[in-house]
Structure 1
Amino acid sequence: MQIMKKALAAGATVALVTTTALVAGATPASAAVYGCAYPRVCFYKTRADWLAARPTASYRDYGYQRLGSASTNAYAIFNSRGDDGAKYYSRTPPGSESTTCLGPLQTIFVTYAYALDIRNDPGCR
């Protein structure tokens, strides 16, 4: 009987450790990807910022927004929003302007971005 109790106790300990490992290893749905917490559109000013998963700026409000100095002309933009589009505006030398839609969970490597418009539509409509 004493051996049976020890075996059951050992089995319970193994089950507890395994369960704890599974819970500890689980990634929450809101976990940051590339250092960008949901639901944000993150900017990485330099390549080093991108490689370090260190956003220099992030935006989360719907609508048109001018970019600040930490996001203007960024090296990369990542849209962590699961179902919203992020239209960004860019101006390239010698001054031609364009807009591009960054869909949900997409990254784009750009320069010359100066504004952002987060839309409640993955196609930026």
Structure 2
Amino acid sequence: MSVLRFTHEHEWLRAETDGTVTVGITVFAQEALGDVVFVQLPTPGGHAADAEVAVLESVKAASSINMPLDGEIVEVNQALEANPELVNEDPLGNGWFFRFKPADAAQLDGLLDQDAYDQLIAAQA
């Protein structure tokens, strides 16, 4: 099983065997948003860390997805355009947003691990 890393903005990251990193939102974020009704996917290419790259709209609010690290987006989850509810149904699986090649893969180690993320959400509950 792949190890997940997390951001303080409730995004998850999974390093893939081909050197890319898959990004999605956590169950905590999905539950806070409610039913997702629209996803604006990012544009492939280079993006700086913290740049807004995608937008989600739910019945409760709009939210942005920021680039977690410097890198190049190489793939987007086209299935979300027709089926944004995948984010609700499977946020840690089929509801992923994009894959990118990080400029420095070692930066993944600086993100939150599962224990640190669990502490973050416990503090926000």
Q: Name the TM-score class by shorter chain.
A: under 0.3
**TM-score, length basis structure 1:** 0.23
**TM-score, length basis structure 2:** 0.23
